[in-house]
Structure 1
Amino acid sequence: MRALVVDPSLPCGLRLGEAADPEPGPGQVLVQVRHASLNPGELGMLAQLPAGHVGGYDAAGVVVRPAADGTGPAAGTRVLAFGPGAWAELLAVSSADVAALPRGAALAEAAALPMAGMTVLRTLRAAGSVLGRRVLVTGASGAVGRYGLQLAARAGAHVVASVRDGVHAPALTALGAHEVVVGLAALRQVGEPVDVVLETVGGPYLVAAWALLAPGATLQSIGWAGGEPAVFPPGSTFFPGVARTLSSFGDAAAVGADLGLLAGLLASGALSAQVGWRGSWERVEEAVGMVRERKVTGKAVIDIAPGAGTGLTLP
């Protein structure tokens, strides 16, 4: 099969080449991938992977072989999938990590959802009910931030979106943000405390967000896009009264049900996929450069030609 494989000799770290077809285990379905997405964290890990490795986790396509143990969707089902090796024509993935796409959900948009959408959904769930609460989303112009503010606003929260560039403010307001604060100085001056933080930037933004927590509030650290260390002033982690908490995120097990929920929201129009770049995987160098330079607002999705090089006929 054709796939995007790691090539350390290239500036972008990837090339369109060939890899062995995956062999599904008893509890795995074989998906012919139509679209996949690029996540910044995945691109950051390329230098640590061996040459020829097939990366990626986010995919949408069609099941061409159902799981041998009878679990999961049938052949011909359009699915959203989360599993290693997504940047390829074929993906063997656990039936617990796929969800059927309802009518009205486009495959290309669905491919943008798995990692970022599942991360936000599970993080919000861990924070508890946000109905009537103030939720701060840092790095709100990125994919995780855009999904986070949409889901929080839909759940009844008052959403404060933090961005570095004010050019994003109108779009974020349209997605459901009630307030948009631009820059670190403005974030530090947010007057009213917040109850939940979805923190994606790290560094000084994490420190500033921590200082805004109300008694009993929680900061969910789910990214470190800024790449800077977080330096807390002495005594800044002590508060009298009800404890504030800082939690990390890392649960990516058995995500099929959550993918199904996200797909349903997408199909109904309640969630926008926010695809900021889309093109053929033959343009992978361009796509990687756009993501690394933070020129993509939302997600970058690559299109994979159906059936090429696999000998399979799609339904």
Structure 2
Amino acid sequence: MRGGHQLIQTFAGTRPGDSIADILFALVQADFMKATRERLRTEGLLDDAISQLAYGEASAEAQVVKTQRSLSLVHEEFLRRAMLPNYAPGKTEVVFSLRGAGAPALRQRLLVRNGGLLPFCTSKGDQQVHCVRHYLHLGGYVLDRPAHLMDILRHMSMAHSAIKPLCRPVLRDGRIPLKVRRMCLTSLALSCASTTCATWSHLTGAEEQAWCRGFVRLARTLGRDDRWTGRPSLPDEKAVCCAFGLPSPRAYLRQQRLLHFQRLALTQPALLDLLLAEFRSAEQSWLSLLRGDVLWAVGLGMMPAHVAADFPLSLPG
């Protein structure tokens, strides 16, 4: 114990901060995930709405019913492991992206008339969880409708906060090699700004402009640009990226999507199947966006031509 001189040995339970506590929680969580996934699969609750749109019928009501049943199973599996879920606002919340028949009316009933509360049954009585329009997850916003402007602005703000103490003493110090300063910017700022960028769908004009402006503003921290004479040394995006050896914001975004697909192919085959189902059933999908990235890479000679011909099956993992 801090301030003491004796070795204290615990005989029952753990406390936050114990090295064994994280290990035990990871073991319990892994067992929970395995059992929950098996129960959901047995009851047919892993048949997602995207696959149903591609191969059958789907309704908004069915999405809500499946969510209620899934919450019941998850609650039971937590209780079996002496874990009590916290359904307070900001702790456990549900974001619905309702599609199909009856979606507008159901959205109105769920978010307005019911006060955003979704009830579900458990063996210990009825519970309810809050439904929200957006949820903050891993530093990024998950929204009920495709929109990324809030996510872009938040990540750019976080990136600037991360490097603010280093701008003058490190990033703009010409005595430090540019390669080292660029590595610092990439690891601290660009990695923060691009945490969720690979998962974005097609960007609107305003969203793309916000991304490009934020990227260039981060890149400018690597040098001192004379912008007060009316003839700036780095007047635009191209000049900034060329001066510091960085890719353009759009090229960087394409690269992140290609790297993200590589991770999906290697580690998340179930999610990849969902993306393939969406690709077959929707005019605009994440994989259709990735196909544009592949065509871009093929045009630059970075990939062989046959990759685009048999997309996405021939795309290397």
Common fold by TM > 0.5: no
**TM-score, length-normalised on structure 1?**
0.24
Greater Rg by CA? 2
Greater percentage in strand: 1
TM-score by length of 2: 0.24
